[in-house]
A and B are shown apart, each in its own frame.
Chain A
Amino acid sequence: MNRRMRSLHRSMGAIVAIFVLILATTGILLNHTSDFELDKRYLTWDWLLNHYGMNDVQADAVYLLDRHTISQFGSQVFIDANPVTQSHLPILGGIIIDDLMVLATEDALLLFTPEGEFIEQMGDGLGIPETIQNIGLFHGDPVVQTRHGMWRSDFMLDQWEQLSLEGVGWSEPKVVMPASVQDALSTYFRGKGVTVERVILDVHNGHILGRFGIWFADLLGGFLVLISLTGLWLWARRSL
C-alpha cells in the first residue's frame, strides 16, 4: 500500500509540477501587473487575436473615389478608415461631382465632402430615382441606372430626367482595398489588441483553452488535492 501510494504520488507530482510552475509564474506576474505595466502592453499576433474572436472582417463593398477608399461593413460605411455614416442598403457605386462625393444605394444618394464628411442622405421624398443599380458620370453629369431606365441630373441632384445614354463612365467596385487602409481598418476593428495581463490571466485560470480550459484547471485542482492527500498519507505513515 505504501509503495503504491508513493508511486501514485511521484507520477502525479511529475504531471502536476509543470502546471504548478505555470500557475506560480503567471500568479507572480499578475501580482505585479502594475509594476510590469502588463495592462498597458498589447499583443497583436494574428493567431492570438483570431483565438480571441477578433478576426479580420471582410468588406461587403469597396470603391475607390479620388484618393479615398470607400468601404461598407454591414450597415457601417467607411471612408478610408473612418466610420462616416450608416446605410442599411448596400453601396452600389460612387462618383465625384464638383465638391461632392456621391455614393448610391438602391433608394438613396449619400453625399460627402471631398474630405469625407457626411453631408446628408438624399432619398425618398427628394425625387431620387428608385431601384438604382449603378451610378456613373456622363460629361461631368451624374447618371444613375435603375431597373426602369437611365436618369441624368446635375450637381444639385434634385431634378432627374429619364433618357438613354451611351458612354457613361460607370462606377466599378474593387476587389481589394489599399494595404494601408486595410491595416487601418484592421486596427479599427481589432483595437490595440489583447493586453498581456488578459492573456496571462487566461493562462492562469485556464480560460485560454476556452470551456475545456476551465475543466482542465478543475482537473489540475483535483490532482493538487490528491497529491496533497497522498503526501500527507506518506508523511503520516513515516511518522508512525
Chain B
Amino acid sequence: MKKVGSVKYTLGLLFFISLIVNSFTVSARGVYQTNQDFLTETFNSVVPKSKVVWLKGELALTITEILGHKYAGLRIRYWRNDQRSVWILEEIGKEQPITFGVVVAEEKIETIKVLAFRESRGGEIRHPAFTQQFKQARLDNMQLDRQIDGVSGATLSVRAMTDVAKLALYLDKFTG
C-alpha cells in the first residue's frame, strides 16, 4: 500500500515537472509588443511617416555579407526623426522569423527588443539582462564593437539578434 502511494507521488511529481517545463517552452512564443506600440513608445506618440530603403546593388550585397544570406524582402521600412531611426527587422532564428525592433541614435544601438518570437527555443534573448549587452554598441568594420555573450540553448537566436543589430547600424548610416 505504501509502495503504491510512493509511485503515485513520483508520477504526480513527474507530471508537475513536465507541466512546468512545458509552460516554459510554450511561453517563449508570442508577440511581446506590437510594432505600433514599439513605435509609439520610441517616438513618444509622435510617430514620423515611414520611409523605405530598397535593397539593390551594393547595399544588397553588403546586407548579404552581414546576414550571411539575402534579406527576406526587396525593401526595408524605417522611421526616422532628428534624433533616432527605428528599424523593425525580421531574421530567422532556427526555423522561424524573429521580429526585432531596433532604435539607433548617433550611430549606436539605443534599444533592441524582440517584438515577436516564433521559435520553440531560444526565447531567452528577449530578456533585458541579455539585450542590455547591445546598448551603445557601434559598428566597427562590419562587426559590433563588443563581444556579445551567448545564451545556452539559444545560439541561433543570439546570432540572429547580433546580425540584426549590425544590420540596423549599417542601414542607419546608409540612410542617415
Q: Are A124 and B74 in contact (CB under 8 A)?
A: no
B50: min CB distance to chain A, Å: 6
Range class of the A interface residue count: 10 to 19
CB of A37 closer than 8 Å to a CB of B: no
| Complex: A121 Cα to B71 Cα, angstroms | 13
CB of A126 closer than 8 Å to a CB of B: yes
Range class of the B interface residue count: 10 to 19
A31: min CB distance to chain B, Å: 39
Q: Are A86 and B97 in contact (CB under 8 A)?
A: yes
A105: min CB distance to chain B, Å: 14
Q: Are A125 and B74 in contact (CB under 8 A)?
A: no
Q: Of the candidates A117, A120, A126, which one forms a contact with B76 in the assembled complex, judged by CB atoms under 8 Å apart? A: A120
B residues within 8 A CB of A125? 34-36, 38-39, 47, 50, 88
Which has the most chain A C-beta neighbours within 10 Å: B39, B72, B73, B118?
A: B73
B residues within 8 A CB of A123? 35
A residues within 8 A CB of B47? 125
CB of B8 closer than 8 Å to a CB of A: no
A residues within 8 A CB of B118? 88
| Complex: A85 Cα to B118 Cα, angstroms | 15
Within 8 A of B (CB), among A121-150: 121-126
| Complex: A123 Cα to B99 Cα, angstroms | 12
CB of B75 closer than 8 Å to a CB of A: yes
Q: Are A124 and B75 in contact (CB under 8 A)?
A: no
Q: Are B73 and A119 in contact (CB under 8 A)?
A: yes
CB of B135 closer than 8 Å to a CB of A: no
Q: Are A113 and B97 in contact (CB under 8 A)?
A: no
Q: Of the candidates A86, A113, A120, which one forms a contact with B77 in the assembled complex, judged by CB atoms under 8 Å apart? A: A120
Q: Can you list, as one digit per residue, whether each of A176-220 has a CB less than 8 Å from chain B (1) or not (0)?
A: 000000000000000000000000000000000000000000000
Q: Are B34 and A124 in contact (CB under 8 A)?
A: yes
Q: Are A120 and B75 in contact (CB under 8 A)?
A: yes
Q: Can you list, as one digit per residue, whether each of B43-80 has a CB less than 8 Å from chain A (1) or not (0)?
A: 00001011010000000000000000000111111000
